[in-house]
Structure 1
Amino acid sequence: MIDDLDLGFDEPERGEKGRHRHGAVRKRKGGSGGRGKTYLALLLALLLLGGIGGGAYYGFDRIQNYFVTPDYDGAGTGDVTVEIKNGALLADMADALVAADVVKSHKAFIEAADANSRSKNIQPGTYKLRKQMSGANAVTAMLDLKNKIVNGLTIPEGRTSKNIYKLLSEKTKIPVKDFEAAAKDPEGLGVPDWWFTRGDKKKVARSIEGFLFPDTYEIPPKATAESILKLMVTRFLSVTEEMNFADRVQRERGGVSPYEALIVASLAQAEAGNKDDLGKVARVAYNRVYGEFNCNCLEMDVTVNYYLESIGKPTKTSAQMTQSELDDPKNPYNRKLRGLVPTPIDNPGKQALAGAMAPPPGKWLYFVAIDKQGHSAFADTYEQHQRNEARAREAGII
């Protein structure tokens, strides 16, 4: 390598070619070229040796990092918020913490979590942490619920999307119109296109209704209407995937699409006065639409109420509804129309979904609440149903 540098220490042995080259240099610079070239060669040698040293240092640093976990010391400084999403694994948490400069490396956090048996209790949500914390301090801080920003909101089962927008707006101060605008694009919020198919060949009205899963949500700081609705849709997709909802419906419900089963779940959620009856009400809906029922229609007043709410009118009890409201031919949710209604009429919970996916066997076509706990009596024939209605009147229910 040194030979290649042409340091100029062997002038007598270079021969004519070497002398001629140096003569050319002298002519350009007007002085002795040997001394200048020597200085240049020494400079190059020093730079080269410095580069080798720097490379060696860099290599040592890499090797050291391999054996020693890069980690900050102490409890950190300043404040930073970090969101841990639902279903996040330790590696996902480490990603978020490194990105926010809370911990120095993925390895620092994961090793600290592995060393702390309580780390499995770290919950999803938004945390107020410090920058440049040691991995151990970061784990400890995330286990302390005082550092968790609690901004929870519970969405009850069976609420309509319009009602949910109001609840969300009250909690977040985001205008209702922002939620309504975001909801116009269900696919943009994460609903897969294949959900909007029906086995009965009716035209699908692409609505977000039914896909806003009822649960308790931590609303992140600076959330938007779109991000909140996406969070709810993601939860719906996660729950239905865990239940194997779509596959079981297609396999066991004889031509009924998952979307139609979602509609049935929403009907059961609205009609059942007790969770014990959710599956039975779903069975009634299937029996009326697809079985031996005179009109193959739903004849459920809850569909009328959904239409009234959608056009800005107050909902009513069955006794308060007029005949024109019950049988309005302009109402696409008319209880006398053949088949299922165009969309779900609310956002059902997990038990209602399970009831629509796998309802108990039965030939029931009618039901009526018979006690103050909301339990219903079910009947195969109208005569049996009339007797159940008499029981309900005796109990002061109707």
Structure 2
Amino acid sequence: MMDDLDLGFDEQDRGEKGKHRRGAVRKRKGGSGGGGGRGKTALALLLAFVLLGTIGGGAFYGFDRVQSYFVTPDYDGAGTGEVTVEIKQGALIADMANALVAADVVKSAKAFIEAAEANARSKNIQPGTYKLRKQMSGESAVTAMLDLKNRIVNGVTIPEGRTAKNVYQLLSKETKIPVKDFEAAAKDPIARGVPDWWFKRTDNKKVKPSIEGFLYPDTYEIPPKATAETIIEQMVENFLSVTSEMQFADRVQKERKISPYEALIVASLAQAEAGNKDDLGKVARVAYNRVFGEFPCNCLEMDVTVNYYLELTGQKTKTSGQMTEEELLDTKNPYSRKLRGLVPTPINNPGKEAMEGAMDPPAGKWLFFVAIDKEGHSAFAETIEEHERNKVKAKEAGII
């Protein structure tokens, strides 16, 4: 009945096209046409299922993506196993988070950052090495890092003014790494992280790069698997961080009109000569006045440079009174008292206050100084006559 109605409609409205339509209908009624119809139906159903599956999978993927914007990926609980994580000097919360993700301590940086922001004590998390667990929640990780028992402490304190040779001995004593390993690691300061521009000088003196001056005095936490190379690099990195924060290089070039390296040499001289922190800047001023001012030889005339050379060459250091005339006036000594200009390298590793003194010394025309009390304070003089009077005071106080 439906076929008749269909044919009638085609023939009335489509004319000759109805014949084509009629032929199509007859084909569907044939035996072979019936099988083709079932095949097409099955194919259509299969495509429908595939389409629905694709749409469903896409919807799930899209939901998962959208969900990640609102739900922070995080592990549950206190984690399992054990892992050691190093938090480097100057690391921000984001840096800590990235280090923890890399060690699979937390699932995402966001999880740790949010937990740290929710804990007011998180600002107390210090650089160092931590013993933590894998796959901890962000909150658990923050709590663990605030617990001192999870911090691996192997601290070494390097005082201000120690020479590199002395620093190696201190480090070796605490780490059991041989001194010769530190000496070998320090042979190439640039490889240990000192930028090559640090060794440029305005006086055009060409000297071999030395690690002296760049082993910043501080208390260091030594990682369990540290090497001589990594420890020296840690100290150099600290030096660069401190001097950058001080704007040391920029200021000495702008204000002192010398290179940062020359100012570092002066800081080491002040660190060695000043018996009191109050005098660091004044001693630096004396060094500048002698080398760049109206001083007969434009030399330093400081016994500490001679002592440095004695230590450098494996000889026993001496007090000024013990030094012979030959040692004091040895012109073959590259650190001679009479060497015109500044000595080749720093003579120790100065601290921040000594560098501040060299960067911004007090105004004064002093050319001489001498210790006058047992607290290490010095009296400074512009003339030799005034200096001699100060020496009398020092003798009366039993200092010289």
TM-score (norm 1): 0.88
In structure 2, C-alpha distance between the alignment counterparts of 1:378 and 1:127, rounded to whole Å: 50
After superposition, give the CA deviation of every residue in 1:127-158 in whole Å (9 maximum; x if it has no partner).
11111111111111111111111111111000
> Is residue 123 of structure 1 aligned with residue 129 of structure 2?
no
Cross-structure match for 2:269: 267
Distance 1:42 1:368, change over 3 A: same
Q: Deviations over 1:151-174 (max 9, x none)?
A: 111110001111111111111112
Q: Tell me which of 331, 334, 337 is aligned to 1:335.
A: 337
What is aligned with 2:354? 352
CA deviation string 1:251-282 (max 9, x = no partner): 111x3211111100000000111111101111
* Structure 1 contact 204–342 (Cα < 8 Å) conserved: yes
What is the distance in 2 between the residues matched to 1:331 and 1:37?
101
- Unpaired runs of 5+ in structure 2? 1-22
| Residue in 1 that maps onto 2:86 | 83
The separation in 1 between residues aligned to 2:101 and 2:209, in whole angstroms, is 40
- State whether structure 2 residue 221 is matched by structure 1 residue 223: no
3-state secondary structure, aligned to 2:230: helix
Residue 39 of structure 1: CA displacement?
7.0
Q: Secondary structure at the match of 1:368?
A: strand
The SS at the match of 2:131 is strand
1:51 deviates by 3.7
Aligned counterpart, 1:113: 116
Letter in 2 for 1:250: Q
Q: CA deviation at 1:183?
A: 1.2
In 2, Cα distance between equivalents of 1:107 and 1:200: 52
In structure 1, C-alpha distance between the alignment counterparts of 2:166 and 2:110, rounded to whole Å = 45
Partner of 2:317: 315
Give the Å deviation of 1:47.
Answer: 4.8
Equivalent position amino acid for 2:336 in 1: N
**2:292 pairs with 1:301:** no
Partner of 1:73: 76
Please state if 1:234 is matched with 2:220.
Answer: no
The Cα shift of 1:34 comes to: 8.9
Count how many residue pairs are aligned between Structure 1 and Structure 2: 374
The CA deviation at 1:58 is: 2.0
Structure 1 contact 198–204 (Cα < 8 Å) conserved: no
SS in 2 for 1:188: coil
Alignment of 1:34-113 (within 5 A): 46-113=49-116
| Higher Cα radius of gyration | 2
The 8 Å contact of residues 197 and 204 in structure 1, kept in 2 or not, is answered as no
Counterpart residue type for residue 329 of structure 1:
T
C-alpha deviation, 1:204, in angstroms: 2.9
> SS at the partner of 2:296?
coil
TM-score, length-scaled by structure 2:
0.88
Q: Where does 1:9-48 land on structure 2 (aligned, <5 Å)? A: 46-48=49-51
Matches within 5 A, 1:113-152: 113-152=116-155
How big is the shift at 1:108?
1.1
> Which amino acid is 2:135 matched to?
Q
Return the match for 1:182 from 171, 181, 185: 185
Which amino acid is the alignment partner of residue 62 of structure 1? R
AA in 2 matched with 1:208: I
Give the direction of change, closer, same or farther, for the CA distance of 1:176–1:39 in structure 2 (3 Å limit). farther
Could you tell me how far apart the structure 2 residues matched to 1:219 and 1:15 are?
A: 92
Shift in Å at residue 55 of structure 1? Answer: 2.7
Find out whether 1:206 has 2:209 as its counterpart. Answer: yes
Match of 2:394 in 1: 392
Name stretches of at least 5 consecutive residues in structure 1 with no aligned partner. Answer: 1-11, 17-21, 23-31
Partners of 2:162 and 2:335 in 1: CA distance:
17
SS of residue in 2 equivalent to 1:385: helix
Partner of 1:285: 287
What CA distance in whole angstroms lies between the structure 2 residues aligned with 1:330 and 1:43? 96
In the alignment, which residue of structure 2 is the partner of 1:369? 371
More displaced 10-residue stretch of structure 1: 307-316 or 381-390: 381-390
Rounded to whole Å, the distance in 2 between the matches of 1:318 and 1:33 is: 113
Out of 257, 260, 270, the position equivalent to 2:259 is 257
* Identity rate, percent: 79
Q: Work out whether residues 264 and 344 of structure 1, in 8 Å CA contact, stay in contact via their aligned partners in 2.
A: yes
Question: What is the aligned counterpart of 2:380 among 374, 378, 381?
Answer: 378
